[in-house]
Every structure is written in structure tokens, then in C-alpha cells.
Structure 1
Amino acid sequence: MMLSRLPRRSYTYAETPIERLDRLTDLLDGPNIYIKRDDLLGLAGGGNKTRKLEFLIADALEKGADTIVTCGALQSNHCRLTLAAAVKEGLKCQLVLEEGPSTSYDADANGNNLLYNLLGVEHIKVVENGTNVIEEMNILGEELIASGRKPYLIPIGGSNVLGSVGYAACAQEILHQTFKSGLVIDHVVVASGSGGTQAGLIAGFHGNSASVKVSGINVSRSNEHQIPVIQDLVQKTAKFLNVPFTISEDSVNCYDDYVGGGYTIPTDGMIEAVQMLARTEGILLDAVYTGKVMAGLIDLVRQGKFAKDENVLFIHTGGSPSLYANHTLFNKDLFKI
């Protein structure tokens, strides 16, 4: 893969650690569980979007943008990190935020909303749940152009081809780290939402001739809708990187059993998983993404889906700032050591 030919900003100055989760592995009595700490990536609070933004913001700068526009949910980690990257580059940033099915916008909310204001967001446009946020983002972009500005629009989650390249680069990083340490990873487990992280990893491992199976735990959609999204993005990312790749039926693996009532809607499995990792490893997950993904991994281990001698790598995509806007969820104590 010719990643070096692409414009790229650098927001993290070291590889994120890969750690063995000793106590969780012992507790579950399953495979060896490792974690890739992408919650420790650069920018405000860290998270997987930082890798995508290294390529997206570089493209925006190359095109002479003065304003970044993106969209997401009320407590969007992607919006927080995009805003932080814009601030670091001296750009303005405007956000389109979609209300939840049972959550209205609160200007004084904690979590990421607090950070939007602290980081100096220029404008927040709030839309009702179910609104086409991409369309609203495009309208906002047109208004900025009409006013003489030069906006650069980034889709939900930064999950276009250029954003996915960030996780093709992450696949290379993982292979470099594991080669140095002598660790062989059999499976990677990651959130499958807007799709860029999972698609980038699949394309990246394939581009490096590495037979690592990537399993996505869906956080918002059924497999019927999710798998075609990932397949399409893998194909486009591989083509962009000049990686020969023909999508087969088993190229994309997703589990849709852990979505619950839908995106941002809590599940008991998520609550147990967040409490379990906090109380065994001292690591914080979030309620929307990593909590549901860890719930999926825990359940798959309990079902015996992995052999005991296999090495499974969980990608921690960040998101812990949103915990502070959802603290009452964890009053329900579902895990005790």
C-alpha cells in the first residue's frame, strides 16, 4: 500500500499500546484477550476518529478550506475530535447534531457537549431525530459558500474512503507492533457503525497479506443493512490504495445481536461490559460504541466462539467523555467481582 503518497497530518506521536488484559482473560477463561488503546490517540480525549482525521484534515488544508463541517449524534465523539483537529489547524468548525429517539438537545449537557463549547465550536445546528443529517450538512456548506467561506464537509464518523485509509494505516501499525513482540493475532474485534474503521482494517490487513480475521460488532444496524455498507467501503478503499481485492461472502464478518433497541439505546450487556472492564482492568469504555462491542466480545467468548489458545485483539475506539452525560446508566450494578 502506498500510504506515504497521501497528504497526512500527525496528531499522535507514538504507536498506541497493545496490552494483554490479564484479569479479564482469567475471568472469562477463554482466549487471550488483548486491547489496542486507540482511546489514547491524540486530540481532545482521543479515539479512533483521530486516525481518520489525519488524512481528512490534510485533504481539507490542501484544498484551502477555512471551515470544517461535520455531523453526528448529540454526544458524538467524531464531532468532538473533528472540532479539536480544526482548532489545532486554525480552522473554524460547525456541527450538525441529531437528537436521539428520546433525547432532546440540552445546551448545558455534560460530556461531549461540554467539550464542544470548551473547544470553541463556531456554530451548532440541531435537527430532530430521523432528519437526513447529510442533507442538512450539505445545506450548511452551501450557506457557507454563499457567504464567501471555503467549507470542507466530513461525513458521519469520517467514514468515507479517505477516512478509512486511517485504519488501513492502523492495520500496518498493528502488524509492526506484533512482529516486534512476537505476538500473533488471530482475530480483531471492533465496532461496526459508520464503517470506516472496520473497512480500513480489512483493506489494510489484506494489503499487507496478513490473514487476520476482523469481526465487527454492530452498534446501529442489522447485518442486512450493515454488511453491504462495509463491503462497499472495503472495495472502494482497497481500490484507492491499489490493493487487489475481490469481496467474497466471508470477507466481511459482523454480529448484529448486540445492537439492542438501536443506536445510542443502552443494553444490560453494555452496562455489564463497561463495569467489568472498569473493575478488572481500570479501563473506561463508553455506552454507545465500545461498551456494546465489549458486550459482544464477552458473549462470543462465553459461547466458545474462540479457541483458548487464540489471541483476540479488541480495538478500543475511545468515547469515554460521553460517560459523563450518561452517568445514571451505571447506577444499575450488573457486574461484581
Structure 2
Amino acid sequence: MFSFIAHLRSRKIEGPTMTQKNSLDSFPRAQLMTGPTPLERLDRLSSELGIDLWLKRDDLTGLGFGGNKTRQLEFYFGEALRQGADTILITGAVQSNFVRSAAAAAAKLGMQSVLQLEERVPDMGAEYYSSGNVLLAKILGAEHMSYPEGEDEAGADAALHARADELKSRGRKPYVIHLGLNHPPLGALGYVVAGQELCHQMPDFDAVVVPSGSGATHGGLLAGVVLEDNASTVFGVCVRRDHEKQKVRMNTVLQKLADLLEIDAVPLQDRINVLDEALPPGYGKLSGMTRAALEKMARTEGIFLDPVYSAKTFAGLLHLVNTGEIQPGQKVVMLHTGGLPALFGYQNELVNDLP
């Protein structure tokens, strides 16, 4: 297991239509994961849906309840440690898995964490603000601050920098993990590794279905697949904005990722494929489609999905099967991004329709 990860870190990324001057091991990286995550066949769902369905279990990354953000944080914390930082600042939704994972990584590495919680999801009950990821972050000892807007990435980042300046004046060494697109997407490098990892575990899949929000997970995994010379389709299921806006965002993310890797962005951008049928009624909001997908996975395979990312991803996958974009017999991988603590923040929305 460990030799496999070392191999991924040391090998140069090359593709048939692009070259790279840097290898992934040229970027500082904190060790937060213990090895590749499992790839599990979903036998009952495969039979029911008429496809060969597999689950990439990035809910099992280990640290602080796991989830996909651990991969991204290895590169952010690597750079923070290189700079000698002692405090991490990050912004996200109230039930953000990213900020909870950052607090866990900071605790593991002996650093402090400042978590800014944005008001992205309106009309939520009291448990949304006190349970799930919020509770876990408090147990981890994180400092919390609030930001009143949910769609103001530049403003949210600016608020973090204002707090960072205060910390600097007291002798601290802060490092800001940015939300906006004006900064290098270091976190996406974690999913370049994941895309390569998946291709080594299963070289012959037909499609992979992933959530598409900030674009770091989707873009990184797409890049990893392309750079392994794998022609499989990568479907991004929109979880925050519609497919037109998300495609624009993905073009930007992939350009910035290509700049980091010193490769041509066009072969990556040509492979963007996003769908938004599972998005309504919006980010962090449940629909009948999302709830049905969450319950189907639990009751057919005994695996829980979260309401914000993975349940919408599975709902998108079911849509692709129903419309024939994923064809009978195809080998399909769904990325499980974790985020399970958020289930408890949504208990009132979920329990009303449960027996």
C-alpha cells in the first residue's frame, strides 16, 4: 500500500498530447492519508440498474470522519508547513466538510484553525447550526467566525485575510486556504493523484461520476484520468450552480490547474461534462430526487450518502442511467466524497418522510 502511494508521488505525469516539467512530488505535501481508498463493487445496485457499478470510497480517507477534502488538504497543509504557518484559516458553508476536515488536519499537525461559516443555505433549523460538522469542529478546538453571504467568494476570502492580519499583529503565522478562483487550486492536485490511483486500480472503466462544486475534486480527477491516457467519460454532477455557470468555472479551474502542472489546458477543458438535473432546489437543499437517491443507496447497499454532495451525485448517476447516457452493461465508478456528519444537520428535513 505505502509503496503504491510512493510510486504515485514520484512518477512524472505525462500524457499523449501534453508534457509536464514538474512532477507531483515537486509540491509540498502533508501526510494525512494512509493509502489508497477502496474500490467496492455495488452488487445489488449493479443488478438493479443493469450496469457494473463501483464505488470509490473516498468517504474512508480516515482523518476526522474522512471525506474527499483530506486529499486536497494534503497539498494546502504542505504549503502551509513550508511557509512555517501555525494557524489555518478557511471558509465554507455552515455544515462544510472542508472546514471540519481542515480543523482535524490542523489538530493532527499541531496547528490552530479558524473556520469561517457562510450563510449559504437559508431556512434551516437550529440543529443545522449546532450538530454534525459544527459539533465536530468545536470538539476539535477550532475558532469559529461567521460571514453573512453565501455567494460572495471574494468577500469571504477578504474576511479571512482581515482575521489573518489580526493574528499576524499578535505574532501568529497564518495561512489562508482560499475559496475564490483568483488563487492556484492546490487542492485539485490531491485529485490528480486520485485520478491516477483510480486508473491503476481499474484501468478499464467506461465512466466516473463525481460531484462538481468548487471544481477542485472534479477538475483534479479529470486531469488525473486524462493524464493516464484514459478515455473514460468523467461526469460532473452540479451541486452548487447550473451547468452553464459550472462549465465556465471548470474551464477556469482547469486552466489554473494546468498552469500549476505546466501542461496544456485544452485537452482537459475538452473533456468537461457537467449536468444539473439533481441540483434543484439549490445548494444544500434536498429534493425528492436527492432524497430518493440517498434512501436507495442506504436500503440497497447499506451505505450512507450525505445530502449536499454524494446523494446528489448518485441522483445524477441514476438520471444518466435513465436517459441512456450511461448504457446497460457499462462499468461505472461513482466517487463517494463522504460528508456524512452533515446528515445530522439535516435530520428535520429527512425524518419527516421516513417511516
Deviating more after overlay: 151-160 vs 205-214: 151-160
User: Aligned to 2:350, which of 327, 330, 335?
Assistant: 330
Tell me, yes or no, if structure 1 residue 151 matches structure 2 residue 171. no
Give the alignment of 1:201-216 within 5 angstroms. 201-216=221-236
Counterpart in the other structure of 1:300 = 320
Note if contact 1:220-1:262 (Cα within 8 Å) is conserved in structure 2.
Answer: yes
Give 1:106 deviation, angstroms: 6.7
Counterpart in the other structure of 1:78 = 98
Give the alignment of 1:1-337 within 5 angstroms. 1=13, 2-29=23-50, 31-99=51-119, 100-103=121-124, 109-121=130-142, 123-130=143-150, 132-156=155-179, 160-179=184-203, 184-247=204-267, 250-333=270-353
Note if contact 2:226-2:268 (Cα within 8 Å) is conserved in structure 1.
Answer: no
Secondary structure of 1:44's partner? helix
| TM-score relative to the length of structure 2 | 0.87
Give 1:218 deviation, angstroms: 0.3
Give 1:96 deviation, angstroms: 0.7
Note if contact 2:254-2:268 (Cα within 8 Å) is conserved in structure 1.
Answer: no
Secondary structure of 2:202's partner? helix
Note if contact 2:294-2:304 (Cα within 8 Å) is conserved in structure 1.
Answer: yes
RMSD: 2.1
Note if contact 1:157-1:196 (Cα within 8 Å) is conserved in structure 2.
Answer: no
Give 1:157 deviation, angstroms: 9.8
Which whole-Å CA distance do the structure 1 matches of 2:27 and 2:122 have between them?
A: 39
Aligned length: 329
Which whole-Å CA distance do the structure 1 matches of 2:352 and 2:282 have between them?
A: 20
Call closer, same or farther: CA 1:321–1:249 in 2, change over 3 Å: closer
Give 1:105 deviation, angstroms: 7.1
Note if contact 1:47-1:77 (Cα within 8 Å) is conserved in structure 2.
Answer: yes
Secondary structure of 1:162's partner? coil
Note if contact 2:37-2:56 (Cα within 8 Å) is conserved in structure 1.
Answer: yes
Give 1:32 deviation, angstroms: 1.3
Tell me, which stretches of 5 or more residues in structure 1 are unaligned?
A: none
Secondary structure of 1:309's partner? coil
Which whole-Å CA distance do the structure 2 matches of 1:21 and 1:106 have between them?
A: 32
